A and B are shown apart, each in its own frame.
Chain A
C-alpha cells in the first residue's frame, strides 16, 4: 500500500482579515487499505483529500505519497493517486462513455488497440460494456458515477480517493458504488456522509472545525462523530 504522510499541514484561503483557515496543523501517516474520512460540511475533509493528489497545495507543512512531495512532484503523485469527485458530470470530460474512459490513457505510450482493449475490459468489469458508444450525458446518475470510477481505475492508480461519491445517488446506486469500492484491490480513501459505507474499513478520521478530532477504528470513530454532531446545538 502507498504510504501517505501528511505533516504539520495548515491550509487557509484569503489573506489578512479575510483569511479563513480550512485545515489547521493536521498530521497523519496513512498506510491502511481502507481509510474513511467523515465530518460535518465545511470541516475540512474535502480540502484534506485534495491535498493528497496536489489539487490543493498546503499553505504550511508537507504532503508526501510514497515519498513524493505533492508540491514538487505533482505529476508523479497524480499518476499514483486517482480522484473521484462528488458530481460525475464535473468529471466526465469526453462526449461518449468509451472516449471518456480512454481519456486517462493518452500519453501512456499505449497503441490504439491496447487502449481499446483496456477500455473494453474496464467497462465490462463495472457493467458498462453495453454503453461504450453512448453519450455520457444520457447515462443515469449511478451509471455516470460508475463511469467516473472506470475513468479513474483504467489508469491503474495505487490509491483511489473518493470525495463523497454517493451523495447524489439513490440507495440502489449507492449500494452499487459500495460494492465496487469493497472489491477494489487498491488502497482507498473515502470521504462520506453515508456512514454505512465504512463497513469493513480499517481506519476512520473524524474532522471538525479544520482539525482531526478523532482517528481510530470505524465503530468508535462513527460513535464519536454521532455524539459530536448530537452535542452541537
Chain B
C-alpha cells in the first residue's frame, strides 16, 4: 500500500504484539548485529526476518519492495567489499544492512504509528527530569513521518513545473522553489497545529 513502509492492517501475532516490545527487540537486534561475523549467521538472521514477514501475513513481494530503494547503496557496498576484502565480508556487510532495514520495515508495517509513538513517549518519560517534553518528541516524530510524502509531492510538482517550462536539470532552480514551498507548508502546518489544539 505504501512505499514509506507505513502500517498495513492485520491480525497476526506480530500485529498484536506490543509496540514497545517490537521496538525493544529491534534495538537489541541492531546492537546484536555487530556480533554477526560469518555468512551463515547473516543468512540465518535474514531468514528469521523474512520468516517474520510470513508470520505477519504480508505478501511475499513486500520485503522486495522495502529493499528496492537500497539497491544502489547495497550494490556499491557489495562491490567495494568484494574488491577489498572478498565475497564473504561483502555478504556479511550487505546482509546485516539488509536484515536490519527489513526488520525496521517489518516493525513499521505491523505497528500503528500512534502505538509506536506512544511507546517512544513512554520510554522517554524519565527524560522529563532533564526538561524534555516526551509528548512534543512524539508529535515531532509523527509530523516527520507525515511530512515525507508531502515534501516528496512538492518535489515532484517543482520538477514537473521545471519540465513544463523546458528547463534542464538545474539544482538551484529545483532547490529554491522546493525550499520556499516547504517553508510555506511548515508555516501552514504550524497554524493547523495551533488550530487543532496541539499547543493546549
- Which A residues have a C-beta under 8 Å from some C-beta of B? 50, 53, 55, 75, 78-79, 82-83, 85, 87, 89-96, 99, 102-104, 107, 133-138, 151-152, 155
Contacts and interface: CB of A to CB of B under 8 A. Distances in A.
B200 A75 contact: yes
A85 B149 contact: no
| 7 shortest interchain CB distances as A-B pairs | A90-B188, A137-B149, A83-B195, A91-B192, A133-B9, A75-B200, A95-B113
Contacts of A55: 191, 194-195
A91 B150 CA distance: 11
24 contacts: A53-B195, A75-B197, A78-B195, A78-B197, A78-B200, A79-B200, A85-B195, A89-B153, A89-B185, A91-B196, A93-B142, A93-B193, A93-B196, A95-B113, A95-B146, A99-B112, A99-B114, A133-B7, A133-B9, A135-B1, A135-B4, A137-B149, A138-B2, A155-B197
B198 A93 contact: yes
Nearest to B188: A90
B107 to A, nearest CB: 14
A99 B115 CA distance: 10
Contacts of A104: 196-197
Interface of B: 1-2, 4, 6-9, 112-114, 139, 142-143, 145-146, 149-150, 153, 185, 188-189, 191-198, 200
A87 B112 CA distance: 25
Contacts of B145: 95
A35 to B, nearest CB: 18
A102 B114 contact: yes
Given A94-B114, A138-B1, A85 B191 contact: yes
Interface of B (DSSP majority class) = helix
Nearest to B199: A75
Contacts of B191: 50, 55, 85, 90
A135 B188 CA distance: 20
Nearest to A104: B196
A45 to B, nearest CB: 16
Nearest to A78: B197
Contacts of B193: 93
A81 to B, nearest CB: 8
A90 B192 contact: yes
Nearest to B185: A90
Contacts of B153: 89, 137
Nearest to B145: A95
Given A78-B195, A94-B114, A133-B7, 18 more contacts: A55-B195, A78-B200, A79-B200, A87-B188, A91-B188, A93-B196, A94-B113, A94-B146, A95-B113, A95-B146, A102-B114, A103-B196, A103-B198, A107-B200, A133-B112, A134-B1, A137-B146, A151-B196
